[in-house]
C-alpha cells in the first residue's frame, strides 16, 4: 500500500510536466506572430532575410541568396527562441519581443517587423 501511495503522488506531480512537454507554448496562441517578418533594421548591414512563422510551431528563414532554413520556435514571456537546423549543426537564436509585439529584436539591435 505504501508503494501505491508513493506511485500515485509521483503521477500527480508529473502530470503538469508531461502536459508542458507536449505543448509548444505560443505556437497556436501567437496569432500576432504567424506570417512573414522582414529584417527592417540591421546595424551591421550584412544581409537581409525573412522569417516565416506557422501556427504549428515551425519557422522558416528565407535567406537573401534563396536558401531556406527550417526550425521550430518557442515563446517564453517576452522572448522568442528559434531552434534552426543549419548544415551539420543546430543553432538557437533568441529575440526579445517588443511590448506592443510589432518588433522581434536581436541582441545587436537589429529587428524584424511583420509584413
pLDDT band at 27 (very low <50, low <70, confident <90, very high): low
Tell me: pLDDT of 13 over 80. Answer: no
What single DSSP character describes residue 32? T
115 CB neighbour count, 10 Å cutoff: 10
CB-based contacts of 81: which residues, under 8 Å, 6+ apart?
A: 73, 74, 75, 92, 93, 94, 95
Cell triple for 23? 505543448
Cell triple for 22? 507536449
Written as one string, the DSSP assignment of 79-115 is: EEEEEEEETTEEEEEEEEEPTTS--EE-TTS-EEEE-
From the number of C-beta atoms within 10 Å of its C-beta (0-12, 13-18, 19+), residue 64 rates as exposed
Alpha-carbon span 68 to 65, nearest angstrom: 9
**Where do the domains of the chain lie, and which CATH numbers do they carry?**
25-114 (2.40.128.210)
Q: What is the pTM of this model?
A: 0.75
Q: How far is CA 14 from the centre of its chain?
A: 25
* pLDDT at 25 (0 to 100): 54
Tell me: pLDDT of 1 over 60. Answer: no
% of the chain residues with pLDDT over 70: 76
* pLDDT at 47 (0 to 100): 77
- The pLDDT tens digits for 45-101 are 877 899 999 999 999 999 999 999 999 999 999 999 999 998 899 999 999 999 999
Alpha-carbon span 57 to 54, nearest angstrom: 6
Amino acid at each position: 500500500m505504501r508503494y501505491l501511495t508513493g506511485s500515485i503522488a509521483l503521477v500527480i506531480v508529473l502530470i503538469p510536466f508531461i502536459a508542458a512537454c507536449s505543448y509548444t507554448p505560443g505556437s497556436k496562441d501567437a496569432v500576432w506572430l504567424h506570417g512573414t517578418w522582414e529584417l527592417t533594421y540591421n546595424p551591421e548591414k550584412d544581409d537581409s532575410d525573412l522569417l516565416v512563422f506557422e501556427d504549428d510551431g515551425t519557422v522558416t528563414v528565407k535567406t537573401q541568396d534563396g536558401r531556406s532554413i527550417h526550425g521550430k520556435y518557442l515563446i517564453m514571456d517576452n522572448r522568442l527562441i528559434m531552434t534552426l537546423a543549419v548544415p551539420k549543426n543546430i543553432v538557437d537564436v533568441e529575440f526579445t519581443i517588443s511590448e506592443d509585439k510589432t518588433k522581434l529584436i536581436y541582441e545587436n539591435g537589429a529587428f524584424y517587423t511583420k509584413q
